[in-house]
């Protein structure tokens, strides 16, 4: 009887380890990857749109909370920076810098958990502000506005503290600005990120 109880105890203990929950906690993180963006110029019925891409990187900090072994939520603030060019003669190969400062909320889903690692996915939304800086020749223009995105990704948590993620972000708000064309008319410029794919690392305390 004692041996049976011992075996049952070991089995229960093994199952509890195999299904160990990912721990809740505060975290900080870094991310780096690639982003695509577009510039669109509209004047009357005429329009010109150019797309390009550049390097994106950022930082974030927040808190994650797990309800059980397979579902959790997290909230965090992030700052990201994008730098690149519009490689087109129409834009005089303008240099582009973009800053995003946002708050985010994600739903976390873990498909696999054991004593040392978990694996899953997440979806989320972010909202905040963005600033575009464009340098064309000797001229520099700065334009700010609303930022919002949806995101989806895969994530793993290793040895409780270390998280690695692959994230795809889809921004869906462009920043618009009107300019005087110097001859009594005007034209409108819209700048927008189209997508961002990054790899991130988070450390949970």
The CATH number of the domain holding residue 185 is 2.40.160.20
What pLDDT, on the 0 to 100 scale, is given for residue 28? 98
pLDDT band for position 11 (50/70/90)? Answer: very low
Q: Domain for residue 4, yes or no?
A: no
Q: Report the range out of 111-115, 191-195, 199-203 with the highest average pLDDT.
A: 199-203
Percent of all residues in the chain with a pLDDT value above 90, rounded to a whole number: 58
What pLDDT, on the 0 to 100 scale, is given for residue 55? 96
Tell whether the model's pLDDT for residue 176 goes beyond 90.
no
What pLDDT, on the 0 to 100 scale, is given for residue 10? 42
Q: What is the pLDDT of residues 134-158, one digit of tens each?
A: 887 777 888 899 999 999 999 999 9
Who wins on pLDDT, 111 or 10?
Answer: 111
| Alpha-carbon torsion angle 86, 87, 88, 92, nearest 10 | 70
Mean pLDDT of the residues in the chain = 86
Q: Domain for residue 6, yes or no?
A: no
SS3 per-residue string spanning 119-176: EEEEEEEEEEEEEEEEEECCEEEEEEEEEEEEEEEEEEEECCCEEEEEEEEEECCCEE
Q: Which domain holds residue 177?
A: 21-204
Query: Considering its fold, how many domains does the chain have in total?
Result: 1
pLDDT band for position 14 (50/70/90)? Answer: very low
Q: Domain for residue 7, yes or no?
A: no
What pLDDT, on the 0 to 100 scale, is given for residue 134? 85
């Amino acid at each position: 009887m004692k041996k049976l109880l011992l075996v049952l105890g070991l089995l229960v203990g093994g199952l509890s380890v195999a299904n160990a929950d990912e721990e809740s906690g505060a975290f900080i993180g870094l991310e780096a990857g690639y982003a695509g963006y577009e510039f669109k110029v509209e004047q009357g019925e005429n329009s010109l749109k150019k797309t390009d891409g550049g390097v994106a990187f950022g930082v974030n900090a927040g808190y994650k909370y797990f309800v059980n072994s397979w579902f959790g939520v997290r909230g965090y603030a992030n700052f990201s920076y994008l730098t690149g060019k519009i490689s087109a003669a129409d834009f005089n190969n303008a240099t582009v810098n973009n800053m995003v400062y946002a708050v985010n909320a994600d739903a976390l889903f873990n498909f696999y958990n054991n004593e040392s690692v978990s694996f899953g996915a997440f979806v989320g939304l972010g909202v905040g502000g963005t600033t575009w800086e464009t340098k064309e020749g000797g001229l520099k223009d700065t334009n700010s506005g609303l930022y919002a995105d949806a995101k989806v990704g895969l994530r793993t948590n290793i040895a409780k503290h270390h998280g690695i993620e692959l994230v795809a972000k889809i921004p869906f708000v462009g920043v618009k600005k009107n300019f005087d064309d110097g001859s009594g008319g005007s034209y409108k410029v819209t700048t927008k990120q189209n997508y961002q794919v990054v790899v991130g690392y988070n450390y949970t305390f």
